[in-house]
Amino acid sequence: MRRTATGAAVAGLLLLLGTACGSRLPESDFENRATPTPRASAEPIRVGVISSATSPVGASAFTGPRDGAKAWFDRLDARGGIDGRRVEVRTCDDGGSGVGNSACVRRLIDQDKVVALVATTALDYAGASQVSRAGVPDIGGQPIGAAYDTYPHLYGIYGSLAPRHGTPGWDGELYGGTEVYRYFKRVHGARTAAVVSYNQSASAAYARLVTEGLRAEGYRVVSEQVDFALPDFRAAAADLKAQHADLVFDALDTHGNSQLCKAMDDVGAHVTAKVTNVQNWTSGVPEDYKDAPRCRNALWATGSSRNYEDTGDTAVREFRDATKGLSTHSQWQLEGWAAARWFTDAAGSCARTGITRGCVDAFMNRGEPYTAGGLLLPVTYERLAEPPKTRRTCLSVARWRDGRGWVTQGDMNTNCFDVPQIAYRP
C-alpha cells in the first residue's frame, strides 16, 4: 500500500463519514459461464461510475476520476470499443452521503446491471459491502477510506496487500510507508516538519499517521490543528514560521490549503516545500492559490502515477489529447483514465469467452502488477496473512512552478526507498 505516498486520498477525503447499509444481489443473476455473450453481439458493455459530484466538499472535488474514465471510454468507443462492442457508461452522483451511495450501488447493480464499477470516487462508500457481496468488480477506485483494504472484488487504484475478508487491513489496522518523508529528508535535507489538520476525525486521524511517519524518519514535528468551522490559519502559519519548519504537510481540502498558503505568505513563513496530496495535483493552482505566490511556488505533490504534465510520455500524451476539451486537468483525471484502461484490458481478456463479472474479476485477481501502460507505478493485489514490516516503495514527485505548471522531480520508477510500514486505524 502507498498510503502516505499518495496522500491516500484520505487527506483530501476529509470531511464527512456516514453509515453503511446494504442488500445482496447474487452474481448469478447476471452471469452464466456456460452460455457467455457471443462475440458478435452488438449489445453494449455496461459499466458504472459513482462519484460524489455534489458532495458538501464542493461541486468539483470528486469528479476528476469520473471525467478521466469517461474520456477513455469515449475514445475507446470511437475506435470500435471492446471486441466490436461499445462501452456504455452509467454515472451516478451519490451526493457525498452514505444513503446516496447505497442508492447508487443498488441502481447500478440491480437496474442497470453493470459488469463492473470503474473509478469510484465516493466521500462515503457505504455501498462497498453490497458491491462485494454481489461479486461486482470495482476497478481503480480512489481509496477515500478503508473499503479497498476491506472487501474482496474491490480494487483501488493503488493496490492492497491486506487479506480483505470484511475487516479493514489486519485486525482493523492499515499500514502506510514513510517514503515521502524519506525523500524530502534525503534529497532536500529537511529536518523539521509541520503537520496542519482540522479538528475533525478523518483529518486528525490522517495527521496522526503523517506525524508518526515523520517521527519514524527522525523529523522534529510541529503539530498545528485548526477549527474546521472557523479555522485560524494565520495563527498556525505564524507558529510554523516561529518553529522554523522546513516542510509543511496537511490533512486539508483544497480550500483549506489555499487559505493556509495565503496565511503563510502574509506572515512571511518560507519553507522548502508545502507538500500536498494527489487530489490537489491540478492545473487549477494559479486560481486556487492566486493570493499566495510565494507559497504557490513552494507547492510539491507526491503520488503513485505519472505526472499529467509529462506529455513527452506516449501514454500521458494520449490522455492529454483526449481531454483537451476539459477546462482543467488533474492527476485524478489521469488516474480515472488509467482505471478505465484497466477495465478495458480486463474485459478484453474475456472477449472470447464472454465479458462477465466473474471473468473480469479473475483478470483482476491474476496476481500480476499492472501499470496502465506506464501511467501507474506497478499496482499489486495480494492477501498477506501478516502486514509487512518494511517495503520498497516508489513515488511520483512534482513541484509547481509558475509558467511551467507541475514539473516532475526525478523518475517515479527510481524514486524508491526501503521504508518501515506504520500501523494506523482508519
Query: 205-233, pLDDT tens digit by residue?
Result: 889 889 999 999 999 999 999 999 999 99
Task: Report, as an integer, the average pLDDT of 51-67.
Answer: 89
Give the per-residue pLDDT at 31.
39
pLDDT tens per residue, range 359-371 = 999 999 999 999 9
Local confidence band at 402 (pLDDT 50, 70, 90 cut-offs):
very high
CA nearest to 99, candidates 159, 10, 18: 18
| Entry pTM | 0.89
Average pLDDT, the chain: 90
Give the per-residue pLDDT at 425.
84
Separation of alpha carbons 377 and 388, rounded Å: 19
Local confidence band at 201 (pLDDT 50, 70, 90 cut-offs):
confident
Backbone Cα Rg of the chain:
21
Separation of alpha carbons 73 and 88, rounded Å: 8
Local confidence band at 61 (pLDDT 50, 70, 90 cut-offs):
confident
Separation of alpha carbons 22 and 24, rounded Å: 7
Q: Where are the alpha helices (DSSP H) in 217-313?
A: 233-242, 254-267, 285-288, 293-296
Residues contacting residue 307 through CB under 8 Å, at least 6 positions apart: 316, 331, 396, 398, 406, 408
Query: For 201, how many CA atoms within 13 A lie in the half-sphere containing its CB?
Result: 6
Residue with cell 500480476: 368
Task: Report, as an integer, the average pLDDT of 306-310.
Answer: 98
Separation of alpha carbons 247 and 395, rounded Å: 18
Give the per-residue pLDDT at 18.
31
Separation of alpha carbons 179 and 154, rounded Å: 25
The more confidently predicted of residues 56 and 124 is 124
Q: How many residues does the chain have?
A: 426
Question: Measured between alpha carbons, how far is residue 237 from residues 2, 49, 223, 301 in Å?
Answer: 28, 39, 11, 20
Residue 304, C-alpha cell as written in the block: 503513485
Give the per-residue pLDDT at 36.
42
DSSP string, 156-219: ETT-B-S--SSSSTBTTBEEEE-HHHHHHHHHH---EEEEEEESSHHHHHHHHHHHHHHHHTT-
The conformation of residue 3, written as its DSSP 8-state character, comes to T
Residue with cell 461510475: 49
pLDDT tens per residue, range 135-169 = 999 999 999 989 999 999 999 999 999 999 999 99
- Say whether pLDDT at 357 is over 80: yes
Give the per-residue pLDDT at 205.
83
Give the per-residue pLDDT at 26.
35
Give the per-residue pLDDT at 20.
29
Question: Measured between alpha carbons, how far is residue 9 from residues 4, 67, 277, 280 in Å?
Answer: 9, 17, 7, 10
pLDDT tens per residue, range 237-295 = 999 999 999 999 998 887 899 999 999 999 999 999 999 889 889 999 999 999 999 99
Residues contacting residue 298 through CB under 8 Å, at least 6 positions apart: 270, 271, 272, 273, 274
CA nearest to 278, candidates 257, 247, 262: 257
pLDDT tens per residue, range 85-105 = 999 999 999 999 999 999 999
Local confidence band at 3 (pLDDT 50, 70, 90 cut-offs):
very low
pLDDT tens per residue, range 13-53 = 443 333 223 333 333 333 333 334 444 457 999 999 999 99
Give the per-residue pLDDT at 206.
85
Separation of alpha carbons 181 and 194, rounded Å: 12
Separation of alpha carbons 124 and 114, rounded Å: 21
**Listed range (142-146, 161-165, 340-344, 393-397) with the worst mean pLDDT:** 142-146
Give the per-residue pLDDT at 276.
87
Give the per-residue pLDDT at 265.
98
User: What are the phi and psi torsion angles at 312 (to 5°)?
Assistant: -70, -15
Give the per-residue pLDDT at 221.
98
